[in-house]
Amino acid sequence: MTVLTPTSPSPSPPKSSPPTWLRYFSFCTDAKVIGIQYVVLSFVFFLIGGFLAMVMRGELLTPAADLVDRTVYNGLYTMHGTIMLFLFTFPVLNGFNNLLIPVMIGAPDMAFPRLNALAFWMFPVFGLVLIASFFVPGGPASAGWWSYPPISVQNPLGHLINGESLWILAVALSGISSILGALNFVTTILRMRAPGMGLFRMPIFCWTALAAQTIQLIGLPALTGGAVMLLLDLTVGTTFYDPTGGGDPVLYQHFFWFYSHPAVYVIILPVFGIFSELFPVYARKPLFGYPFVAIASFVIVGLGLIVWVHHMFPSGVSQWMRDLFMVTTMLIAVPTGVKVFAWLGTLWGGKLKLTTPMLFALGGLINFVFAGITGIMLATVPIDIHVNNTYFVVGHFHYVIYGAAVMGIFAAIYHWFPKFTGRMPYEGLGKLHCLLTFVGANLNFLPMHPLGLMGMPRRVSSYDPEFAFWNVLASLGAFLLGVSIIPFLLNMVSSVVRGEPAGANPWRAIGLEWLLPSPPPIENFEDHVPTVISAPYGYGTGKPLVEHQGEIELALALLEGRA
């Protein structure tokens, strides 16, 4: 072990040693191992959540409720939403945080490695708790992923351990795990950056991770507090949310959305970070308006904490609240728009290289802009009340989460896969995956908008035959999305086994992580952390990022036998 005091960069970067697969099943404190643990396990749950969605879209192929029982259908959409958010999206992004933050800022590991491993190992535990709820009497939670009382505090069978109490337990554990993770990421970013890397020389992904984790630290405790009160109402018999005992069901909605609206920014901010990392690489131009993109992340955090009531416009809130939250919600479009225009400015006149990660990022950006426009529509009180609880909301949400976030996640996987495995993914399979995902997502989620405007409510297993046409289209899109996972999994497995060796910097990208061998050694730069001397994304400027960059690159080339 060495003290983290940088000396002159060594001419030979440390050699990478191939990790044994057993480490991935142990209480390993190496952030790179934990990152891969997060990503792989989250994709297991992604397949489970996706399977539930396939069953739902199968049910909705016909207007009648003929595939599953209505009660089962209630459980399906509840568990689909919960699994996809708490067991896929948050963990996969925490995986990226673990993989990328230390190598991007030149730290050897996280600030608290043991806490990091603890936070990860809570993930399989609450995952199992949630999945176990399928097998308890009465079935899993069926109150929707919001778990609104009074529906969520119904316990007709009277068992102490029921679907809903397991749901609350899983969500609370997930919250604790996320808070532990957030403590780690924030401390690491604030205290462990390479010499010379001031905040305004930090890669945008780290800015967005910092912003997103700030939301976790502020928002999650509120949700946890609200969930504790819900659990007490359900099991002990308190009346916090029960009007017959003086309680208020709308109070729960405040707790829930105070966190769960910003939670969408916890998801989308790192994806903005991924876009900001990828566009400069594949357009060969510096990121347009770097400081504005960086600051916009925190403007989104600030505004994001004061918009939650837009989920509650029809919940009997007063008119001044509706007006206020409509305005704050619309204001979010300003920092978001700053980012979108910065990306367009980056792409404008660039030498675009349409690799798989770039195609995923471009597709994600297109879907995001569409989702942003319907978001502004939904912020408008009269429109929101009109389409409240219809498929319009479902369509908007899935454009954000699947169209933009999941495509951004895939972009990141294809982009950094060579760095952490040392092998290149296959371009052909990757492009097929991208095409199927983009077409599938749009075919699946676009028809939900006309359906919502026509008045089809969400969370129903049977519907009026006039909605059949758009539903059949949406289901076909969903099945296409299901198929799109096959080339992805094939690609990942076969590339790990026999993909072409990647080398340290296959995309000719600029960033500290690309000055490390692939895969990086256990402690990254160890005590040879390079000193950062210029702003990130110096594409086409010819300026070196770090001191002695030539020597480091030469040493990497020697290591690979290229020179």
Partner 1 sequence: MSTSSPLDPSAAPDPAAHGEHGGHPNFTLTGFVIFLLSESVIFLAFFSGYTALKLSATAWLPSGVEGLEWQTPLINSVVLVSSSGTIALAEWFKHRGSLWGFRAFWLLTMAMGAYFLLGQAQEWRSLSFGFTDGTFGGTFYLLTGFHGLHVATGILLMALMLLKSFLPGNYDGGEQGVVATSLFWHFVDVIWILLFLLLYVWR
Taking CB under 8 A as the criterion, the residue among 197, 342, 429, 510 binding partner 1 is 197
317 binding partner 1? (CB under 8 A): no
Binding residue for partner 1 (CB under 8 A) from 42, 94, 177, 184? 184
Q: How far apart are CA 401 and CA 434, in angstroms?
A: 16
Rounded Cα distance, 323 and 381, in Å: 8
CB of 218 to partner 1, least distance (A): 6
Task: Note the residue count of the chain.
Answer: 563
Provide the 3-class DSSP secondary structure of residue 334.
helix
Regarding 174 and contact with partner 1 (CB under 8 A), the answer is: no
Which one, 306 or 468, has the nearer CB to partner 1?
A: 306
Pick 239 or 421: Cβ nearer partner 1: 239
Q: Could you give the count of Cα atoms lying within 13 Å of 295 in the half-sphere of its Cβ?
A: 6
Strands (E), 378-422: none
Among residues 195 and 289, whose Cβ is nearest to partner 1?
195
Query: Does 255 help bind partner 1 (rule: CB under 8 A)?
Result: yes
The stretch among 118-126, 194-202, 292-300, 434-442 that binds partner 1 (CB under 8 A) is 194-202
User: Is 497 an interacting residue with respect to partner 1 (CB under 8 A)?
Assistant: no
Contact string 205-234 vs partner 1 (x = CB under 8 A): ------------xxxxxx-xxx-xx--x--
Query: Smallest gap, in angstroms, from Cβ of residue 414 to partner 1?
Result: 31
What distance in Å separates the CA atoms of residue 360 and residue 234, rounded to the nearest whole number? 44
Residue 513: CA count within 13 A, CB half-sphere = 26
d(CA 256, CA 160): 23
Q: How far is the CB of 359 from partner 1 (least distance, A)?
A: 36
- 10 touches 534 (CB < 8 A): no
Residue 493 lies near partner 1 (rule: CB under 8 A): no
By the 8 A CB rule, do 100 and 130 touch? Answer: no
Minimum separation from the CB atom of position 70 to partner 1 (A) = 33
How big is the site for partner 1, counted in residues (CB under 8 A)?
54
What residues from 85 to 144 belong to the interface with partner 1 (CB under 8 A)?
Answer: 108-109, 111-112, 115
When the beta carbons of 53 and 231 are compared against partner 1, the nearer one is: 231
* Selected binder of partner 1 within 50, 149, 181, 247 (CB under 8 A): 247
Phi/psi of residue 390, nearest 5 degrees: -110, 180
* Residue 115 or 299 having the CB closest to partner 1: 115
Q: Applying CB under 8 A, which of residues 198, 316, 349, 550 lies at the interface with partner 1?
A: 198
Query: Cβ closer to partner 1: 40 or 179?
Result: 179
150 binds partner 1 (CB under 8 A): no
Q: Which of 90, 240, 391, 426 binds partner 1 (CB under 8 A)?
A: 240
Q: Cα dist. 353→280, 376, 436, 527 in Å?
A: 10, 32, 20, 35
Q: Which residues sit opposite 390 in a β-bridge?
A: 457
| Closest separation in Å from C-beta 302 to partner 1 | 15
How far is the C-alpha of 237 from the C-alpha of 243, rounded, in Å?
13
The torsion angles phi and psi of 282, rounded to 5 degrees, stand at -95, -5
Cβ neighbors of 26 (< 8 A, separation 6 or more) are: none
* 407: nearest Cα among 510, 301, 481: 481
Closest to partner 1 by CB, 163 or 175: 175
Q: Closest CB to partner 1 among 245 and 337?
A: 245
Residue pair 486/525 in contact by the 8 Å Cβ criterion: no
- 509-548 footprint of partner 1 as x/- string (CB under 8 A): --------------------x-------------------
The residue among 126, 141, 115, 50 whose CA lies nearest residue 91 is 126
Taking the complex as a whole, the smallest distance from the CB of residue 233 to partner 1 amounts, in Å, to: 9
Cα distances (Å, whole numbers) of residue 296 to 76, 194, 293, 345: 37, 24, 5, 16
Question: How many Cα atoms occupy the beta-carbon half-sphere of 304 within 13 Å?
Answer: 26
Residues making contact with partner 1 (CB under 8 A):
1-6, 108-109, 111-112, 115, 179, 182-184, 186-187, 190-200, 217-222, 224-226, 228-229, 232, 236-240, 245-248, 251, 254-255, 258, 529
